[in-house]
Amino acid sequence: MCFPKIYKAFDDSHTPDAAYFAELARVAKKRIIWGGNYFLEFLGATECLIVWDKKRRGLNFADCEIAWTNIKQPCRIFEWKWNGMLQEDMGNKEYRIHPTQKPVALYKWLLRNYATTGDKILDTHVGSASSLVACRECGFKYVGFEIDEDYYKLAQKRLQAAEDQMNIFDFGFNPYQE
């Protein structure tokens, strides 16, 4: 498990600066940045936005979330109910540990549609570790960072539980490879 602890340079209440986005561009070929619509001064225009439609309407919370990408494809929408206790897959309901937590299914969809076999996935704002759990379940190598100590501990525990489960990728089988 590669999940190093880093200390506070900024948190969700502070916008990363231009240096952060420049470094991200240097180390990541493909970038998908949730909330990227708030950072357009650093990211610029894109032809591919990804929209997660939470399938909830008229509440005090957002109906969807938007990710900026540098991917050269048309915009796409992923629909997955995420409304407090109500989730799309109630049989495999996820325990919520982070206020901006996203479902593992969203990250699996992103991996299927935008990642390539052999890619190493970087998440600089791990939060609840949904992205890393999806990577684990789909056979991708990953690196993640979380600056909040409490969320780090919860995410690390969640990821460890996922890693403790036997997985077909443990035996060298990867359905994403040809």
Residue 11 lies in a domain: no
Residue 177 lies in a domain: no
Residue 3 lies in a domain: no
5: three-class secondary structure by DSSP: strand
120: three-class secondary structure by DSSP: strand
Count of C-beta atoms within a 10 Å radius of residue 19: 10
For 24, the enclosing helix (H) or strand (E) is: helix 18-27
Residue 8 lies in a domain: no
* Containing structural domain, residue 50: 18-166
Query: What CATH number is attached to the domain comprising 132?
Result: 3.40.50.150
165 pLDDT tier (thresholds 50, 70, 90): confident
Count of C-beta atoms within a 10 Å radius of residue 128: 24
Question: Looking at residue 136, what is its pLDDT?
Answer: 95
Residue 139 lies in a domain: yes
- What's the token pair of residue 54? 């939470």
Q: Does the pLDDT value for residue 89 go beyond 90? A: yes
Residue 110 lies in a domain: yes
**What is the C-alpha separation between 174 and 60, in angstroms, rounded?**
41
Question: Looking at residue 174, what is its pLDDT?
Answer: 62
85 neighbors 72 (Cβ within 8 angstroms):
no
**pTM > 0.75:** yes
Q: Look at the chain and report how many structural domains it folds into.
A: 1
Question: Looking at residue 1, what is its pLDDT?
Answer: 46
* Of the listed ranges 26-30, 79-83, 84-88, the one predicted with least confidence: 84-88
- Encode pLDDT of 10-61 as tens digits: 345 677 899 999 999 999 999 999 999 899 999 999 999 999 999 988 777 8
Q: Report strand pairing: 141-144 vs 120-123.
A: parallel
Q: Report strand pairing: 76-79 vs 49-53.
A: parallel
